A and B are shown apart, each in its own frame.
Chain A
Amino acid sequence: MTSMLTPRRAPRPPRGRPQLRTSYAQDMGLLNTPAKRRSTALVILAAFTVPFLVTDDLLLIFTLGLIASVGAIGLNLVTGYAGQVSLGHAFFLGLGAYTGAVLGGDPEGSVTGYGLPMWIWLPAAGVVAAIAGLIVGPVAVRLRGLYLAIVTLGLVFLGEHIFREARTLTGGPGVGRRGPDLELFGIDFAEAGSLFGLGLSRDQQQYLLALVFLIVFAILGRNIARSGVGRAFSAVRDRDVAAAVIGVNLTVYKVMAFAMSSFFAGVTGALYYAVVGVFEPGAFGLLLSIQYLAMVLIGGVATISGSIMGALFITSLPRIAQEIAHLFPIISTSTVGGGLINVFQFEAILYGLLIIGFLIFEPRGLFGIWMRIRNYWKGWPFSY
């Protein structure tokens, strides 16, 4: 409102004062303080050294966890940020998995496969899922809360049925099919090989692939969340009527949320089952949707880093359950044989307990715990 300031390139802000913001770009920067820059670099560095410190069987769990993180980020976009409860995530994951498998699968196999390279089947899996999301999206415009949950639940059953019956594409129940081949830039991730002059095992290679995949999509997710689209999502979540009043187009943003979320789910499905190998239609049931919801709830609603924490935690839960089972003889480690309950039942109970526990005691999830720890030190020497 003041006087005439000649517009020109702004002088650099003074050094060592991260909070002195001289432009909105600086204010909105992804890593807008040196502390954030340092800690992010440290976390990424640590993530890259993990494959050289951990045994291969554990590494596979981490690999799957990293890939699942992208799916969890996708679900968090629609459920956490935009507030549209979706139980249909398994359907989009399945759609992506089968698109990837069909496009990238072995052309000589018993089921359909076109043998296309990864740079085609991976994005295609996302796009197909996103189109499905676009079709489902308008439903969300009409429905809210519980009703939307029921409709998306229907989607899962619909999807499961289609996957089971389309035998030429999916191999049918009990049989299943192989995922696509993991080969990118001439590197075959399905075999042990050497990367950058380092001799790496198959699992180490896949871990690194998954890590890069996650970094790309996490940055994408973060950028969606902190940009105008993300703000519109939050406005819709907090009160859709109020959002509409301030000029947020509800139809556009709800459909957009579903499409984006489905894209994330699609690419996750394709890559996840490429790493897993053989999979069958039964995998895309309601339980899968619940698992992803658990990742979001336990990790932290409407946070990207929370989604990653949640996904890593949930994917390693079977392993954790197994380790606990070894300690308590009343839990049998196989479906047959003695013990009060078996390890799979124990795992299901753990899911339930964790979801209930987190909802009651820590609604903001693992991320909330992290926030509390961070704020404790950030506030030092005061409490507020």
Chain B
Amino acid sequence: MSTLALRIRERAERTPGAVAMREKNFGIWEQVTWQDYWQNAVLVGHGLLALGVQPGDRVAVHSENRREWLFSDIGITAVRAVTVGLYPTNPAPEVRHVLSDSGSSVLIAEDQEQVDKTLEIVNELPDLKHIVYIDPRGIRGRYTDPRLMSWEEFLALGEEHRAQHPGAVEERAEQAELTDVATLVYTSGTTGPPKGAMLTISNIEFVIDTLANQGAFVDPPASDKDLIVSYLPLCHVAERVFTTWFNAAVGSQVNFAESIETVQVALREVQPTIVFGVPRIWEKIAAGVHIRMSGASRLKRANFALWMRVSRWIGRKLVENEGNHTLATRLAYAAGWVFLYRPLRERLGLAKARYAASGAAPIAPEVLEFFMGIGLSMHEVYGMTENSAIATANVAGRIKVGTVGEPQQGAEVRIDEETGEILTRHPGTFAGYWNNPDATARTIDPDGWLHTGDVGEWVDGTHIKITDRIKDIIITAGGKNIAPSEIENSLKSSPYIKEAIVVGDRRRYLTALIGIELDTVGDWAQRRKIAFTTYRDLTEKPEVRELVQQIVDETNTKFASVETIKRFTLLPKELDHEQGELTATQKVKRSAITEQFAAQIAAMYDEAPQEVPA
């Protein structure tokens, strides 16, 4: 039997000098070898033992992606404790919820910002005994809370403990059992407070086996030659798969950017071979290309327009052929490669990407087609925290755009005949929600089937197409079932639209709240000499309304008449996580939005505005 920690130790013994990860600091990619990785993880483990962490205790990590995240994660699992990840964007109330719900005894926080969030509510957290901070700026010499301890002090404590009890961490790591909970992954919570999903060692081992031996996602399977840029929150299960678990399973090299703002630069420098992104990232990259293109010289614009036309044609052909090239598309691609696709992919950091995937939320087919057209091997995949991110995936050569692919090897997937809900069953199914047996019982049925909460259907008997979240399905006053996400994604495929929320449950017709993309619309307005000051000001321009109206009209032509948007309102502000409008994963919290903009929604249905409680 093996665990994450033991796998890292094995690599440290087999290839001690090979690179496990890199982090960019002051312009230089500092390399961490497997030996360094394991040594640091062992020190973290000893430090935790010195702080009295027992098997099954929860240790929280609240940080951006960086080396210390992985050192901590492996160190925590090595001493059979449970890693609890927090989103760096979590505001204090959510931090309180996660820390108190999990009952974490130790918190590893990145910097002053994260430490402050916890200190604000530390009196409500009786279980929290120690806070380790990684970056001492602003904390050292100013904060006097006795629970605080710097990363260096923590490691020094670990060294001391190691001197007294040599081998204690490894001994503990070898006692690990398959049923040990390795990590609590808190769901993003679009509907209620986040719930902690317990993933056990056997869950993770199932994922690792699928990655390493079954060629899940990447084909041919990933290896230690593969490079990954880690930038999505590590507390999310998808990034954990692509960063930590891929790394432990096959030794792929993880690269951390200097900060979240420099990810684009990092991508260009690292030119990763495996890229995972959420739809928002892919949409933003595609929109960025269009903005920068509109500022390019005439010749370059003409070049772009020409080869994008060709690429759309190639994209369409690829979509028809499940991602396979024909001779004609190969020739067209070869010509375009010289003039546009190679330099474009190079600039985007995707030149060496042999596998790109989008998951965690639905993506518009147009965006996938854009990337497939420029020659990226692009795949939509599907999974969720509760099934350790293993459910379905498109496989190279058998891609159906608009579907989330075929069931992964070793995973059973079926669709409930009555409700249309997608059910999965495999050894990766989570052990239940932490401290929440009711919710667990609602999610896993007695036969071991996991109820995903997503409604879907089979396409050609092999691929699954997801219609929507079961709770989001709109039933109009006319009794028609409508999946809003399809309409929303179609709207969002325009570079000018960032958010779209379709409303219409128990109403006569559909309406939408639309949030514009400040970058692109701002650029568009500037080009038309439309002066604006703020985001809100921009949304009130009649020209902008017209622009959005055009996009809405275009979208309406793609849908049946009951599914068309009759009216829309532009959101006067950008939605964000702090205000509770988005989840940490940037998903819209529908209930919060419809409540906040109740007046605007009522106006779209010509109803008297209800009293909005202040």
Chain A residues within CB distance 8 Å of chain B:
1-6, 8, 10-11, 13-14, 16-17, 19-24, 27, 376, 380-384
Contact = CB atoms under 8 A, between A and B. Distances in A.
A16 B352 contact: yes
Contact of B151 (A2, A14, A20, A381): A2
B293 A381 contact: yes
B293 A382 contact: yes
B39 A381 contact: no
B466 to A, nearest CB: 34
Most buried by B among A1, A11, A381, A383: A381
Interface stretch (B30-38, B519-527, B560-568): B30-38
Given A21-B29, A27-B28, A381 B269 contact: no
13 contacts: A4-B155, A6-B39, A17-B271, A20-B271, A21-B29, A22-B22, A22-B30, A22-B31, A24-B27, A380-B300, A381-B343, A382-B300, A382-B347
B40 A14 contact: no
Interface in B1-43: 17-19, 22, 27-33, 35-36, 39-40, 43
B269 A19 contact: yes
A22 B33 CA distance: 13
Contacts of A19: 268-269
B19 A2 contact: no
B33 A11 contact: yes
B340 interface: yes
A380 B35 contact: no
Given A10-B31, A23-B28, A381-B296, A5 B269 contact: no
Interface string B68-88: 100100000000000000000
A266 to B, nearest CB: 38
Interface of B: 17-19, 22, 27-33, 35-36, 39-40, 43, 67-68, 71, 134-135, 151-152, 155, 227, 253, 268-271, 292-293, 295-297, 300, 303-304, 339-340, 343-344, 347, 352
Nearest to A9: B17
A381 B29 contact: no
Given A22-B22, A27-B28, A3 B296 contact: no
Contacts of A384: 292, 295
Contacts of A2: 67-68, 134, 151
Contact of A381 (B32, B35, B43, B340): B340
Contacts of B40: 3-4
B71 A3 contact: yes
A375 to B, nearest CB: 12
Nearest to B268: A19
A20 B270 contact: yes
Given A3-B155, A382-B347, A22 B296 contact: no
Contacts of A16: 271, 352
Contacts of B292: 382-384
Contact of B68 (A3, A11, A14, A27): A3
B303 A22 contact: no
B314 to A, nearest CB: 16
Contact of B300 (A5, A11, A27, A383): A383
Contacts of A380: 300, 343
A381 B344 contact: yes
B27 A381 contact: no
Contact of A4 (B31, B43, B270, B352): B43
Contact of A17 (B17, B35, B135, B269): B269
Q: What does DSSP make chain B's interface, helix, strand, loop or mixed?
A: helix
A258 B481 CA distance: 83
Contact of A3 (B135, B151, B293): B151
Contact of B269 (A3, A10, A20, A383): A20
B591 to A, nearest CB: 41
A14 B27 contact: no
Contacts of B43: 3-4
Given A2-B67, A16-B352, A19-B269, A11 B31 contact: yes
B564 to A, nearest CB: 37
A134 to B, nearest CB: 37
Given A3-B71, A20-B270, A22-B31, A383 B297 contact: yes
Given A381-B340, A384-B292, A13 B297 contact: no
A24 B352 CA distance: 24
The 7 closest A-B pairs by CB, nearest first: A383-B296, A19-B269, A382-B292, A20-B269, A380-B343, A22-B29, A3-B40
B268 A27 contact: no
Contacts of B339: 381
A16 to B, nearest CB: 7
A11 B295 contact: no
A5 B36 contact: yes
Most buried by B among A4, A8, A24, A382: A382
Contacts of B39: 4, 6
Most buried by B among A3, A14, A19, A376: A3
Given A3-B43, A381-B293, A381-B300, A11 B36 contact: no
Contacts of A376: 297
Nearest to A12: B19
Nearest to A1: B135
A119 B158 CA distance: 64
A383 B295 contact: yes
Given A3-B67, A11-B31, A21-B269, 4 more contacts: A3-B151, A3-B152, A23-B28, A381-B343
Contact of A13 (B29, B68, B151, B304): B29
B252 to A, nearest CB: 12
Contacts of B343: 380-381
Nearest to B293: A382
Given A11-B18, A16-B352, A27 B33 contact: no
Contacts of A8: 17
Contacts of A17: 269-271, 352
A384 B29 CA distance: 25
B17 A11 contact: yes
A17 B352 CA distance: 10
Nearest to B66: A2
A160 B113 CA distance: 70
Given A3-B40, A13-B29, A21-B28, A381 B297 contact: no
